[in-house]
Structure 1
Amino acid sequence: MTDNLPKASLGYFPTPLIELTRLSAKLGGPKIYMKRDDNTGLALGGNKTRKLEYIMGDALAKGADTVITAGAIQSNHCRQTAGAAASLGLECHLVLGGKEPTRPQGNLLLDKVYGCHIHWAGKNRKGEDIPALVEQLKAEGKKPYVIPYGGSNELGAVAFVEAYEELDSQRRDMNVSFTHIIFASSSGATHAGLMLGNRILETNCQLVGINIDKGEMDKVPFDQHIVNLANSTARLIEADYQFTANDLILNSNYVGDGYGVIGELEKEAIAMTAQNEGILLDPVYTGRAMGGLIDMVRTGQITSEDTVLFWHTGGAPALFAYAEDLDIR
């Protein structure tokens, strides 16, 4: 279904599928497994590498010499885009929310190491300022290609249909079935792609996206954006499936004070996962998603009879930028 789509080789796949026996014991069950997309290899890893293989493939096929994308100051997507651009010989422009800090840390430090051109956009962290930059670069003779916020378009979602097929092959080899798949849901393509993969393979697994952000995507409510993207991705690969809001599970109980604001939920999840499994989560995405999983176990939404997969989407470099908020002594 994806053979006709250009693709750049950027990561190392399949990523590991492991069982978290100590964390499961700590919580008194259920069985918990982890899909280690923090080990994709590009720019210290993360799930965006999968999306960028198709998106960068499209950019190269269209003759681009420059890529532009946007995100928050500690954007994992921007960091991986920077690494992908460097590996492919493309100029990279990042439009980041906020203002330039005195000392770059975490993902921002890596953006600078990769030699990106960084444009500070204040409150506009989702690419609102990109159209003006495109015109500027065209006037300079560049051939810019715009990568959407989070890499979340049909090409990004296709990558997670493929990722679901990868997971299904691994879990068959391990003779395990999952009742739930828990993951951070923020810009939509990971969620939409997993929904489509689940439907195509008829695994009937409950996909639970933990909402990370209070905002909208492209001025559309986030839940509707995910459904729309799942449907447009199905059309792209000529898969005869149609999704409605009833097919979506988006858990918004753990958004707390908003995007990138660290609370006790994230702190506990990061510490518990690190101290029981030696695995690092990030403060913004996987820390919040794992915090949601832990709470769902404690409140009985997930029982000791269930078998859960946690999809680790990466982001550990951001830990260094959140040292004061994490307050780990």
Structure 2
Amino acid sequence: MKDTLPKASLGYFPTPLIELTRLSKTLGGPNIYMKRDDNTGLALGGNKTRKLEYIMGDALAKGADTVITAGAIQSNHCRQTAGAAASLGLECHLVLGGEEPEQPQGNLLLDKVYGCHIHWTGENRKGEDIPALVAQLKAEGKKPYVIPYGGSNELGAVAFIEAYKELNAQREALKVDFSYIIFASSSGATHAGLMLGNKILQTHSQIVGINIDKGEMDKVPFDEHIVSLANSTAQLIAADYQFTADDLILNSDYVGDGYGVIGELEKEAIALTAQNEGILLDPVYTGRAMGGLIDMIRTGQIKATDNVLFWHTGGAPALFAYADDLDIR
């Protein structure tokens, strides 16, 4: 049961729930609200803080002295893992796809500030090279703990069941119901946890993940991975729910040219949100998800009378690394 799961205190909760009145007006409706998980506090914030509270709690309970995780060069998850490890006195190893740049920027700069050990792995950005590193660290007498890509396992999903309960209390205080809850869906645990939270609390919102990556998770199609993770998380917390593909809403219309490739969709979403609300989105995740939301409004998929929640999962530090792609002069 989740009540017995160890947990480290890493963030500041609840995060704010606000209404984006100027952006809503600019788009001609609907009423857009935002859950500000960019304000979780750890390492400049982000939704991964929630997952890491449970994952780091498990690592400490198992006696780990070192954590390992993987991601892309501008991984928000890796940046928050680095901050969490520093705050808990754990050694941190990041297995990053790509090649080391001459000048670190954005999330990578922060990874280095936190004193992480960084391992460059070329085309492999989802942890394919972690087993060899685990063996090496064990041979050195370390006690490594592997954190999955994106923090997306059952513990990460449990964190977003709790996050959904947090949102629901705020929603009830505002006396508002959300027709849609929209967010960037990338590694699965946020999506699975929100699906479970919606089911447990019977709030009947449509949980809409905007797919930001063409890839798979653990060699499994991403949609199947999310459903499987929702079911294994339900089993972990002894909840009598069984999800199927029919329960999943994963919108892949906005993947464009792939992960981290910035197009006009993301550029416009970043500019509109910044210039109407003073809120920064990132180019890879929230920029794409907000771009999807804006298009769904313009094409009539979301009505002007709807109440929509956009879950801001963080990532603004990556803006600095994408200055050339954003073409801001």
TM-score by length of 2: 1.00
Q: Quick one: distance in 2 between partners of 1:203 and 1:321?
A: 39
Q: Which residue of 1 aligns with 2:79?
A: 79
- For residues 236 and 162 of structure 1, what CA distance do their matches in structure 2 show? 14
Deviation at 1:108, TM superposition (A): 0.1
SS of equivalent residue, structure 1 residue 110: helix
Q: Structure 1 CA distance, aligned partners of 2:100 and 2:220?
A: 29
Are residue 66 (structure 1) and residue 44 (structure 2) matched?
Answer: no
Distance in structure 1 (CA, Å) of the matches to 2:220 and 2:76: 23
Cα offset for 1:328?
Answer: 1.3
Amino acid at match of 1:38: D
1:272 aligns with 2:253: no
Equivalent-residue separation in structure 2 for 1:171 and 1:140 (angstroms): 50
- Structure 1 unaligned segments of length 5 or more: list them: none
Q: How does 1:173-184 map to 2 (within 5 A)?
A: 173-184=173-184
> Within 5 A, what are the aligned runs for 1:111-190?
111-190=111-190
State the alpha-carbon separation in 1 of the partners of residues 198 and 3 from structure 2.
20
SS in 2 for 1:250: strand
Name the residue aligned to 2:222. 222
| Alignment partner, residue 91 of structure 1 | 91
1:294 counterpart = 2:294: yes
The aligned residue for residue 314 of structure 2 is 314
> Deviation at 1:194?
0.2
Which one-letter code corresponds to 1:67 in the other structure?
V
Letter in 1 for 2:111: D
- Residues 221-274 of structure 1: CA deviation (Å, up to 9, x unaligned): 000000000000000000000000000000000000000000000000000000
Structure 1 outlier segments of 4+, above 2 Å: none
Q: Distance in 2 between matches of 1:19 and 1:175?
A: 13
Tell me the CA shift for residue 324 of structure 1.
Answer: 0.2
Q: Which residue of 1 aligns with 2:39?
A: 39
Cα shift at 1:2: 1.7
Q: What percentage of residue pairs aligned between the two structures are identical?
A: 88
Deviation of 1:306 (Å): 0.5
Query: 2:324 is matched with which residue?
Result: 324
Amino acid paired to 1:89: G
SS class of match (1:109): helix
Structure 2 CA distance for aligned equivalents of residues 64 and 227 of structure 1: 30
Q: Secondary structure at the match of 1:258?
A: coil
Residue 146 (structure 1) shift: 0.1
The residue number in structure 2 matching 1:49 is: 49
Instruction: Please report the RMSD computed on the Cα atoms of aligned residues, expressed in angstroms.
Output: 0.4
User: What TM-score does the superposition give when structure 1 sets the normalisation length?
Assistant: 1.00
| Per-residue deviation, 1:119 | 0.1
- 1:256 partner letter: G
* Displacement after TM superposition at 1:121 (Å): 0.3
Which position in structure 2 is the counterpart of 1:21? 21
- Indicate the SS of the match to 1:3: helix
Q: How far does the alpha carbon of each residue in 1:163-220 deviate from its partner, in whole angstroms, 9 at most, with x for none?
A: 0000000000111110000000000000000000000000000011000000000000
| Separation in 1, partners of 2:239, 2:167 | 20
Supply the AA of the counterpart residue of 2:178: F
Residue 30 of structure 1 corresponds to which residue in structure 2?
Answer: 30
Q: How many equivalent residue pairs?
A: 329
Give, as a single letter, the amino acid of the residue that structure 2 aligns with 1:176.
Answer: V
Report the Cα distance in structure 2 between the residues aligned to 1:121 and 1:158, rounded to whole angstroms: 30
Separation (CA, whole Å) in 2 of partners of 1:298 and 1:173: 30
Alignment-derived partner of residue 233 in structure 1: 233
Q: Please give the alpha-carbon distance, in whole angstroms, between the structure 2 residues aligned to 1:212 and 1:15.
A: 24
Map Cα deviations across residues 87-112 of structure 1 (whole Å, 9 max, x no partner). Answer: 00000000000000000000000000
